[in-house]
Amino acid sequence: MKALSLKQPFAELILQGRKTIELRKWNTKFRGEFFIHASKSPDKQAMKKFGFEKLPCGCIVGKAVLSNVKEYQSTDEFWKDRDRHLAGMEWGNYGFLLENIERIFPIPAKGALKFWEFNDFNAVKELVE
């Protein structure tokens, strides 16, 4: 299944339902369910801003459905969605619209750039046994 790496606390904000649009500088044709991967290194400034001290990193923490991508054509349009993406324009003008967000038991995994394939179901099997 595909996965997308995000720095903490952004992965956690998605899992809490506070962030339903993930901003990127690149577009994608992919639509569907994917794993949410919390990158190994958190964004320390954002951790403080959103009131987090410690969150799981270096693991898959949830899943969601990418239903569509919104390309922001103007700053007014971008700022209208501020409460859904919780970020500034430096993160990109493509908004990945997320639905059916679900927290899962953390699965250790190395991340990658853009969407990547997670196929290490041995890691999942070891957690269950």
Q: Residue 47: which domain range? A: 2-108
CATH number for position 49: 2.30.130.30
What is the domain count for the chain? 1
Residue 113 lies in a domain: no
Residue 114 lies in a domain: no
User: 116-125: per-residue pLDDT in tens?
Assistant: 999 876 655 4
Residue 86: CB atoms within 10 Å: 21
In the prediction, which pLDDT does 123 show?
Answer: 57
Residue 120 lies in a domain: no
In the prediction, which pLDDT does 125 show?
Answer: 47
Average pLDDT over residues 36-42: 97
Residue 46 lies in a domain: yes
In the prediction, which pLDDT does 122 show?
Answer: 61
* Percentage of the chain lying above the pLDDT 90 cut: 88
3-class secondary-structure state, position 58 = coil
Please report which confidence band the pLDDT of residue 129 belongs to, taking 50, 70 and 90 as the band edges.
Answer: very low
In the prediction, which pLDDT does 47 show?
Answer: 97
Q: Which residues contact 73 (CB under 8 A, 6 or more apart)?
A: 93
Q: Please name which of 20, 47, 40, 22 lies closest in space to residue 115, comparing C-alpha atoms.
A: 22
Residue 69 lies in a domain: yes
Average pLDDT over residues 94-112: 96
Residue 37 lies in a domain: yes
Average pLDDT over residues 17-28: 97
Residue 13: CB atoms within 10 Å: 21
